[in-house]
Amino acid sequence: MAVAAITAGGPLFTACSSSKSTSNKGSVATGDALKKVLPAYIPSTLVAPDIPGVNGSSPGFTKLPDPLVVSVKAKPGKGSTFKAMTPIWGTVPKKDNAYYKAVDEALGATVEFDPLDGTTYQEKIGAVLASSGIPDLVTIPGWNMQGQIRNAIENRFADLGPYLSGDAVKKYPNLAAIPTGAWQMAVFGGKLRGLPNSGGVLGNAIFYRKDLVDAAGVALPKTADEIVSFGKSVTDAKNKRWAFDDLWTCIQKLYGVLPDAPHYWQLKDGKLVHKIETQEYREALAFARKLHDQKLVHPDADAGKDGDAKIRFTSGQTVMYQDGTGGWYGMVSEQSKQNPKFDMQALDYFAADGGTPLLWQDDQAGIFSFLNRNLPKEKIEELLAIADYAAAPFGSKEFQLVNYGVEGTHYHLKDGAPAFTDQGVQEAQPATLYFLAAPPPSIAHPDQPQMVKDYAGWMARQAPHLKKPMFYGMQVVEPTRYASLYTGFDDLQKDIRRGRKPVSAVEDAVSTWKKSGGEQLRAFYQDILDKNGSGA
């Protein structure tokens, strides 16, 4: 494996491969050099999961250990004050609140967070990185790494390799427990620049209302044709119930359609073929169109009102809908108080013909925190020690404080599980310290033990079918001149799925795509492949 930084008419590209080629710009790490860049991996054994992970699936925890374990034996801070910039999707907590004070006391340092609205974070990042006043810590989601931000990451943030690479990470045991694949994504320009927020291997599911399915007395589908039959059995438009919400993302998984950039390529007869050129893409579109034509999709979903999908599902207007698996707990927790019969499950994936599914694995990190390169060595080490505290595993005193705050103030234990108080909801926003560093992904919800069993079991059943796509673990930023190549396709697939254009319209669109830059984009990726390998 190798890490390279390449400029090809656009922003920097960071990749892993086995090549020893040089790049047009930036540094290159190859083979043994990459091993020196990445931290050693030492899994945590402090708290054994109730449901172990299988083939990379996330482990499950159905209860808190009693007593909580201690993963950081001394205060990591040295009395310093650090400024941190992070995104937040929710209400910004008041400054100097009880949660911040308790965390700072435990850290032995002060971290002054400036959480900014995640929906407008892109503009804020650009402005901050272009200024001379960069905070000590900056969190940047991968989807915000646009324009020249990757250049700024290499130029404005510290190289963490001297502190974390190889066995050096053993000084920070909780950071050492972060999977290697997540650290790999944090390598920019051949150097370890970021602290990764690692994620699970599979992030989307088709959820169904088991309570409604059982009441209808119908069997779950195991082929694409059975999905149609299932839809006809449960759809009752007169009583405002439809089988499906918009399932497009997950329909693509049933047909083995390639993921989005940069993983939307496969090799056929030695040539890179884009997802929009494949038969699988066309078959998925045709199937989605069939669900529309059979009137099995909720009309509001067909109209693109995606924001109301959860309401349609919880109210029983739809029996199946797709969502990120991270939302499973929140919905079950909410509905357990409103509808005791509510039973939300995830459908096991299958190939459209009923065979073994092909599931493309997600990258293991998508959000990163960076340290200002102007910080002196002792300050970087202090922040890394704080990050080690933030990355403490579930079941530890450190995790409990970071994620729930102070017992009696921000939460109380109810049946052995933490439950937020009103003050906790307002103040204990773990997104702040959590973004500095986080433990490996787990499914840990003691207040919903059955949901944990359902989720962990589902992920374990899907994990054997996962395959890494091309350019897996690579950070690729396409030249900006290709940015508008897919605008038409986004609209076209909606028009096809919703009955406004025929599936055959794809052919003209692909032809236009090739002439408008698609062939040049193919050459761009071919060059990456030739010099750096596929990454998979």
DSSP-derived pairing of the beta strands 365-371 and 137-141: antiparallel
Token pair for 171: 């000084």
State the pLDDT at residue 4: 29
Is residue 14 pLDDT above 90, yes or no?
no
Residues 6+ apart with CB under 8 A from 106: 75, 389, 398, 401
State the pLDDT at residue 506: 96
Query: pTM of the prediction?
Result: 0.89
- What is the per-residue pLDDT across 238-258, written as a single tens digit (0 to 9) for each? 999 999 999 999 999 999 999
Write out the H or E segment, with its range, that includes residue 414.
Answer: strand 411-414
Is residue 228 pLDDT above 80, yes or no?
yes
Rounded-to-integer distance, Cα 134 and Cα 139, Å: 11
Q: pLDDT confidence of 32, banded at 50, 70, 90?
A: low
In CATH, what is the architecture of 46-199+363-458? 3-Layer(aba) Sandwich (3.40)
- What is the per-residue pLDDT across 68-92, written as a single tens digit (0 to 9) for each? 999 999 999 999 999 999 999 888 9
Is residue 29 pLDDT above 50, yes or no?
no
Is residue 46 pLDDT above 80, yes or no?
yes
Q: pLDDT confidence of 532, banded at 50, 70, 90?
A: confident
State the pLDDT at residue 34: 62
Please compute the mean of the pLDDT values over residues 15-41 and round it to a whole number.
Answer: 52
120 backbone φψ class: left, alpha, beta (φ>0; ψ -120 to 50) = alpha
pLDDT above 70 as % of the chain: 93
Average pLDDT, the chain: 90
Residue boundaries of the structural domains of the chain: 46-199+363-458, 204-360
Is residue 12 pLDDT above 50, yes or no?
no
Is residue 15 pLDDT above 50, yes or no?
no
Q: pLDDT confidence of 370, banded at 50, 70, 90?
A: very high
Number of Cα atoms under 13 Å in the Cβ half of residue 413: 11
- What is the per-residue pLDDT across 147-178, written as a single tens digit (0 to 9) for each? 788 888 989 999 999 999 999 999 999 999 99
CATH code that applies to domain 204-360:
3.40.190.10
